[in-house]
Chain A
Amino acid sequence: MRGVIEGGWEFVIAAYAVTAAVLGLYASSILLRLRTERQRAMKQVP
């Protein structure tokens, strides 16, 4: 017991993976919703 945390790379990888997944999924959801909304708006144009 040295008062120093040893290892813990699994937590580091988990934190970065969660960050990439959350930001990536949110960005993808915006781009998909925007494309859908643009297509809907185009259909409404007479």
Chain B
Amino acid sequence: MNRRVLGVVMALLAAMILFECVVLGYGESPRAVLRMLFEGTWGSGYGIGQTLFKATPLLFTGLAVQVGLRAGLFNIGAEGQLVVASFAVGWLGTKLGGLPAPVAIPLLLATAFVAGAAWALPTAILRLRQNVHEVLGAILSNRIADALVAALLAGGAAIKGTVHTADMGAGCMLPRLGAFVPALGASAASLALPLALVVVAAVLPLFRKTAIGREIVLSGSNPTASTAAGVPVGLRRGLAYVASGGLAGLGAAATVLGYKGYYEQGLGSGAGFLGLAVALLGRGSFFGLALAALLFGTLQQGGLAVNAIVPKEVMDVFAGVVIVAVAIADRWVAAVPPVKTPAAAQGAA
């Protein structure tokens, strides 16, 4: 465990050095850029709120990818699942004008989960019945999701002349955190953040504490042996993949319900793919996922903050380098032999 943490720290350091080189390449002072980055994110109440807002969908999509990984499936389709769920929530919200929040919000969250799960279902079926690789299925579903939602928006779901739906009813919005913690100001962080933390904390232990959870992990690890022992492998892995889609869909809580109040083309885009990085960095633990989501949330928000002197895409480069460096650090950590206790070494001599 400690060696893994060490690997991540080394990767972050390496990414930092490269980041500074890129900034120098723009003829800017890394110090000034870093100060700007900090001031725009963790340097003010509003910045913190915006960072938390950016991190919230990543918690959902990171968890979603993690759930797929436990079943041995790589859910690169979180992006499309989130798009479909966001649209579904935004569209349904316009129909729920008069409903009070305690009814409307659970209904919308359930819709987000079901829509994301439904969008994952064909990929799961293709993978587990026809042996079509889930990455292929998911990439195709992502493209179809984008096209379908664009078509629906153009076909009447959007306000004429725009690419967004009408405002949802008043009871459909998740309250902003700024209402409870005035220091966060008018930032877009909402109750979706605590919701995300609760969901992550509730889902992760299921893999150990429930029979189905354990069977999912065992099925993902060795489907042949699990089948031979009587585990319904296809059902278990399919369930995990579909649930992964649902969790990715819940990301809409942060963007549609907590921020915009309507669905707009492109809202939340990129969160699905960043979920892969969050899961990779987070290593399946609660704190790992939370810290990874915060890191990438910081980078996203920081990109906007430094945009004045370097392009915000520099932060994407940084994020990319982090991912590659973590992957390399992983190999490196695995190659280092474990530390031996002196007692064991003595016994060997």
Q: Are A and B part of the same complex?
A: no
CB within 8 Å of B: which residues of A? none
Which residues in B have some Cβ–Cβ distance to A below 8 Å? Answer: none
